[in-house]
Amino acid sequence: MTKPPVSEQVQVNFRMPKELQDKCKTAAGKNGRSMNAEKIFALEKYFGEIHRNNDSRDEVTEDQLGVEPKRNSTSTDEEGAQLH
């Protein structure tokens, strides 16, 4: 992943349990990343999985309800005429 320019970065300070910090340090060493890069990697992975899980849940709900998936803002009738 390419590092964004400084103007697009924010500094975040937060507390975490020492045990979690130790796990992050171990993972960073194994993966050849800095602690900061490891935390960013973990957060991006977590939020990517959340997004994929939410998309999957939406698809299941649409299937269960017999609803057509959302495609775009313009709909057409059976003959292809645009509906507003």
Is pLDDT above 80 for 77?
A: no
pTM recorded for the entire structure: 0.55
Q: Rounded to whole angstroms, how far apart are CA atoms 61 and 56?
A: 9
What's the pLDDT at 58? 60
pLDDT band at 66 (very low <50, low <70, confident <90, very high): low
Q: Rounded to whole angstroms, how far apart are CA atoms 36 and 13?
A: 11
Q: At what angle do helices 35-65 and 18-31 cross, to 10 degrees?
A: 100
pLDDT of 20-42, one tens digit each? 999 999 999 999 999 999 999 99
Task: Classify residue 38 as exposed, middle or buried by CB count within 10 Å of its CB (0-12, 13-18, 19+).
Answer: buried
Q: Rounded to whole angstroms, how far apart are CA atoms 61 and 25?
A: 40
For residue 68, give the DSSP letter: P
Residue scoring higher pLDDT (76 or 6)? 6
Q: Average pLDDT in the 49-65 region? A: 65
